[in-house]
Amino acid sequence: MEIMKNPFEDFIYRRVKKPRDYEVQEILSIFSMKKYDKGALFKEGNTVVKKLGFLVNGSARTYFINDKGDEITDEIVQKNNFLSDIISVRTGEKSPIIIEILEKSTVLVADMEKVWVLFEQNITFNILIREYIGDRSMALLKKYLLFLNGTANERYKYIIETNPEILKKYPLKYIASMIGITQTQLSRIRNQKK
Structure confidence by residue, pLDDT tens digits, 23-77: 999 999 999 999 999 999 999 999 999 999 999 999 999 999 999 999 999 999 9
pLDDT at 158: 87
CATH superfamily, with its number, for domain 7-123: Jelly Rolls (2.60.120.10)
Question: Mean per-residue pLDDT for 158-175?
Answer: 86
144 or 43, which is more confident? 43
- Give the pLDDT confidence of 88-111 residue by residue, as tens digits: 988 889 999 999 999 999 999 999
Mean pLDDT of 126-154: 89
Annotated domain spans of the chain: 7-123
Binned at pLDDT 50, 70 and 90, residue 2 comes out as very low
pTM of the model: 0.87
- Mark 47-56 as b/e (b = at least 16 C-beta within 10 Å): bebebbbbbb
Q: What pLDDT shows up at residue 3?
A: 46
172-187 per-position pLDDT tens digit: 899 999 988 888 999 8
pLDDT value at residue 90: 85
E strand intervals along the chain? 32-36, 41-43, 51-57, 59-65, 71-78, 81-83, 98-101, 105-111
